Amino acid sequence: MRAVAAWGRPPGGEGRAAAGIRVHREWEELRKHGLQAWIRKDLTNGSYDDILNAEQLQKLLYLLESTEDPMITERALVTLGNSAAFSTNQAIIRELGGIPIIGIRINSPNQSIKEKALNALNNLSVNADNQIKIKVYVNQVCKDVLSGPLDSAVQLAGLRLLTNMTVTNEHQHMLNSYIADLFHVLLTGNGTTKVQVLKLLVNLSENPAMTEGLLSAQVDSSFLSLFDGHVPQEILLRVLTLFQNINDCLRAGGHLAVQPPFPKGALFSLLYGEECVQKMKALVYHDDVDVREKVVTIIPKS
């Protein structure tokens, strides 16, 4: 039997379609001989944490697609996620049809499997071509982030994926209807969650097309507590960057002097209300120079 040798041998001189058929036939043959038990042991001891070649990735995707074993599923997702940290593998996994095979696992009731699938998609999403295929999962990820356990590993994995998907303006509009809920997660989550939500909101705030949606979002007045001087620097600097970006977008559009109408309780009324003005003036004397520099670019010059 050539099970172990076949696993590590790269395809030689044949086309991708022919190689795919051969690999599939090999996998079916190997599975009949109990290879899943061998893979279970091998995946568990971490011997597939190194860079995998195209044939190994294809076999791993066949394994993920065919197994219902939670342990094998989780380990396969971790291995694919690790492999997707390399740009070459990001393209290979897409070309092998791996994104939907991984993506369907975000619907798993097993929270650990869901997290590992989100982590794998997160690494894959660094590639712009991959984002085109991953965007079909954005709505589901948003719903999971907002309805799942607060501060959970799944919520953080989902937020990281959404952050990667919004680095450019291409898919940001898909989050329009979730902005107010993201602010709620920001205000109720722990420090780690706050930082991750702010990374996402800062991405959105850089796009003038998202400014109106951000400023019209209903946000609890406790949001202003994030501008207090004792707030951790990694949070304070990001919330100031959020404000700075929104300010810049409004100035570029000539809207600061006009002050377009926004509903009561909207983010606009918090950022441009008297309480926030006073907090910003206090931050001019903050101990951290980066905070002070941010503030002076935001507050109106007298």
Residue 29 pLDDT exceeds 70? no
Q: For residue 302, count CB atoms less than 10 angstroms from its CB and return exposed for 0-12, middle for 13-18, buried for 19 or more.
A: exposed
Rg (CA), the chain: 24
**Mean pLDDT lowest for which of 170-179, 249-258, 285-294?**
249-258
Please state, in angstroms and rounded to a whole number, the distance separating the CA atoms of residues 267 and 48: 48
Phi/psi zone of residue 36: left (φ > 0), alpha (ψ -120 to 50 degrees), beta? alpha
pLDDT at residue 160, rounded to an integer? 98
Helix, strand, coil % in the chain, rounded to nearest 5: 75, 0, 25
Residue 9 confidence (pLDDT): 37
Nearest to 122 by CA among 42, 200, 207, 210: 200
Q: What is the pTM of this model?
A: 0.84
29-45 mean pLDDT? 49
pLDDT level of residue 39 (50, 70, 90 thresholds): low
20 by DSSP, 3-state: which? helix
pLDDT of residue 38: 43
Given a cut of 60, whether residue 153 has pLDDT beyond it is yes
Q: What is the pLDDT of residue 262?
A: 84
> pLDDT at position 22, please?
55
* First CA to last CA distance, the chain: 82
Q: What is the pLDDT of residues 270-301, one digit of tens each?
A: 999 999 999 999 999 999 999 999 999 998 76
- 204 alpha carbon, distance to own chain's centre: 13
DSSP string, 253-276: TT-TTT-----TTBHHHHHTSHHH
* pLDDT, tens digit, 9 for 90 and up, residues 67-93: 999 999 999 999 999 999 999 999 999
pLDDT at 17 over 70: no
> For residue 265, what are its two tokens?
């309780």
CA 120, distance to chain mean position in Å, is 10
- Alpha-carbon span 290 to 65, nearest angstrom: 49
